Amino acid sequence: MDQKRVKQILSSSADIDVKYNGASVWIDELKEDGKTATVHLRGPMEERSDVDISELVED
């Protein structure tokens, strides 16, 4: 995924399914470097991770 699409998803009110390593995640924020984002798994676990946006896939 590219930086432009991450920004579009963050500003959208729609529920857009994004996957990281096959797991559905929410994108919390795009980091200042523009190459990484903070995400967390959909569901009860709130553990957050910083991941490379190139590894995010829109379903």
Q: What is the DSSP letter of 14?
A: S
- What's the whole-model pTM score? 0.89
In this prediction, residue 16 carries a pLDDT of 96
DSSP state string for 29-58: EE-TTSSEEEEEESSS---EEEEEGGGEEE
CATH number for domain 3-58, candidates 2.60.120, 2.60.40, 2.30.30, 2.40.128: 2.30.30
Which pLDDT tens digit goes with each residue over 10-43?
Answer: 999 999 999 999 999 999 999 999 999 999 998 8
C-alpha 7: how far from chain center: 10
Torsion of CA 38, 17, 43, 37, to 10 degrees: 0
In this prediction, residue 23 carries a pLDDT of 93
In this prediction, residue 43 carries a pLDDT of 82
Domain ranges of the chain: 3-58
In this prediction, residue 47 carries a pLDDT of 85
Amino acid at 24: S
Q: With 80 as the cut, is the pLDDT of residue 46 above it?
A: no
